[in-house]
Every structure is written in C-alpha cells, then in structure tokens.
Amino acid sequence: MSMPSDSEFLRRAEQCLTSVQAALDSFDPDELEADLAGGVLRISFPDKRNCILNRQSAASQIWLAEGASAWHFVFDAARGVWTDTKGRGELRAILEGVIARRVGRAVQIAIS
C-alpha cells in the first residue's frame, strides 16, 4: 500500500475526525461529549473517562485509544475506509463498539 501525500492524508484525516464529531454531537450530553481541536477528538464520558481519536501525520494514520486498548488505522483507498493495521477491523465498527460499551446501547456513527 502506497503512502498518501501529506496534504491528501491531512484532508482525509480532517474529514474523518469532523464527521465523527458531527455524529457524536447528536448524542445526549449525559452520555458523552466530543471536542475536536488540533487533530485530536476527545470523547468524554460522565464517569470522567475519555476515548481519544487523533491523527498521526508522521505515520499517515489515525489512532484510537480507550483505556488500555489502542488501534492504528490507515486509509484503504480501494475500499474508501480506515482499517486497523493489525487486521482487527474498520474504524467505524471499532469506534461504534467502544462507544456502545460506554453508553450501554447500540450506536451508529457515520464516517466520511
């Protein structure tokens, strides 16, 4: 898989992060709050725990961290999705699972 140009990666990463934030903004603030700044999307839950989704420009990846778990995603241009570098799935499905466990219900998140 070839590495995207810096500007291409930044455009895709920004689009991904802003679309996730827009989807999370529809949640009740009693369930979670999402704040995006400087390429870092912090998802805060009522128990004061956080989930972090951020771009890693040097590696052309988006990283997700929740508790002791972490995932690194690269953009699969052929499929148009962010996929885990260790083959554990797509960003959308993994993020939906993380958030569903935290809020106690099934969720759907659109990622563009």
Task: Please determine, for residue 82, whether its predicted confidence score (pLDDT) is greater than 90.
Answer: yes
Asked, for residue 110, whether it belongs to a domain, the answer is: no
Asked, for residue 111, whether it belongs to a domain, the answer is: no
Residue 28: the pLDDT is: 94
Task: Please determine, for residue 86, whether its predicted confidence score (pLDDT) is greater than 80.
Answer: yes
- As a whole number, mean pLDDT of residues 64-77 equals 96
Q: pLDDT tens-digit profile of 5-51?
A: 889 999 999 999 999 999 999 999 999 999 999 999 999 999 999 99
Give me 67's structure tokens: 């508790």
Asked, for residue 112, whether it belongs to a domain, the answer is: no
- At 8, is the secondary structure helix, strand, or coil? helix
What's 65's domain CATH number?
3.30.920.10
Number of domains the chain is built from? 1
Query: 26 lies in which domain range?
Result: 6-103
Task: With CA atoms as reference, report the closest residue to 54 among 77, 68, 72.
Answer: 72
